[in-house]
Chains A and B, each alone.
Chain A
């Protein structure tokens, strides 16, 4: 599978974890204090608690329920209830390929050899939820893939589409560095109204 945008860099500052998703796969998206991004299955293997409710401590993500700490490879390296125990290698969280490029965080669930999307120097403007499935949104623009959709005629915008549910997706929009952010933002809201069939 291709790279999918799951959030903007500015929404996940160092030391932060947030929930995200690609269709039915729920993700815990987090950033180490030194700025490395990770996308993991949003479930602690101990008791099934969502890791996106956890906290970043050093270069680990800790579960909020019992404080189990997972290193950047997703392996459990500390169990507070048993401080002297070295946790077995078998306790680990499923991890996904994750990288930041152009201010956008990208995830590939199946892993990929594809290079990260080329953004042509555009900068992130904002993320917007739209009540339309990702394939339907791509079809609106006549695009086959929804990794990125170029809308050159309007502010040289580039839309990176994140499939969420059968009826919703998240659009992460980028535009030329010299574009007026307010104008682009307004254009996006109009676009959403059109796509959702609401008179703007």
Chain B
């Protein structure tokens, strides 16, 4: 048991996808889950019941005693949004690498070419990053980037504004300019289930304003993006995320990732992390 790792909420299934009971892994340990009479349950390997929360279309559990509630996303509750269960993608990388990649914009022109970015628009301007002590979350704001096709709903290239939030070690919430409603934020999340330290299941979820696209078009768009990310994530060495400086070289564009790594270290979250001593 390691409280710093166990006492968090983790996504383990998309609720609409639970038909029969099944087994999965959480932090390297077998768990089972299912749904009966509309209520989800999760058991650990010994058959003991684990706490559950059903939120954002997903089932959450914890192998420990979470000392706070699962985070909320108030913006996602506003009326008129389409809530999109994207599905899951298993990736052979540390859950922390998956989150860090989600926080990165500098890769857009090279990995999501002509969709989320395109040369020569590669420059990343300075933005604000903060660990908000009062809520114990990492936030990056005033992030701006030129995008040829920012979302399924975008008609052409726009400079998109982003805000990133890390409310839990293996989750991130992105707020980005909504192409059809420039005054509002689209919400795109990345919920990561740590199967093991070097293998994860990623559950993206979205709350968008988009009256035009079909559900499957929105899902396909996000899946395409994440497949492109996966080709990166499975080819980074080491597979675990180095938390100590020295192994990798950050620049100003990487301020969010620097803050994320620093925060993980501060809260003692070492699952999927590579420390110098290791």
A positions within 8 Å CB-CB of B = 26, 42-43, 45-50, 53, 63-67, 79-83, 85, 90-91
Contacts and interface: CB of A to CB of B under 8 A. Distances in A.
The A interface is mostly helix, strand or loop, or mixed, namely loop
Contacts, number: 64
A45 B248 contact: yes
Given A45-B249, A66-B107, A67-B109, A80 B236 contact: no
A91 B110 contact: no
Contacts of B251: 46, 79, 81-82, 85
Contacts of A42: 237
A80 B122 contact: yes
A82 B236 contact: no
Contacts of A66: 106-107, 110
B127 to A, nearest CB: 12
B237 A65 contact: no
A81 B106 contact: yes
Contacts of B238: 48
Contact of B249 (A53, A81, A82, A91): A91
Contact of B124 (A47, A50, A82): A82
B232 A80 contact: no
A65 B107 contact: yes
A50, A63, A82 interface centre (most CB from chain B within 10 Å): A82
B235 A49 contact: yes
Interface string B167-205: 000000000000000000000000000000000000000
Contacts of A81: 106, 122-124, 251-253
The B interface is mostly helix, strand or loop, or mixed, namely loop
Given A45-B249, A65-B232, A82 B123 contact: yes
B110 A65 contact: yes
A124 B253 CA distance: 46
B137 to A, nearest CB: 23
A45 B251 CA distance: 12
Given A66-B106, A66-B110, A81-B106, A48 B236 contact: yes
B107, B119, B250, B253 interface centre (most CB from chain A within 10 Å): B107
Nearest to A52: B235
B111 interface: yes
Nearest to B236: A48
A64 B122 contact: no
B107 A83 contact: no
12 contacts: A46-B249, A48-B248, A49-B236, A50-B236, A53-B231, A65-B232, A66-B110, A67-B119, A80-B106, A81-B106, A82-B253, A91-B249
B130 to A, nearest CB: 20
Contact of A47 (B109, B119, B236): B236
A43 B248 CA distance: 10
Given A66-B106, A66-B107, A49 B124 contact: no
B47 to A, nearest CB: 40
Contacts of B247: 48
Given A43-B237, A45-B248, A67 B110 contact: yes
Nearest to B108: A66
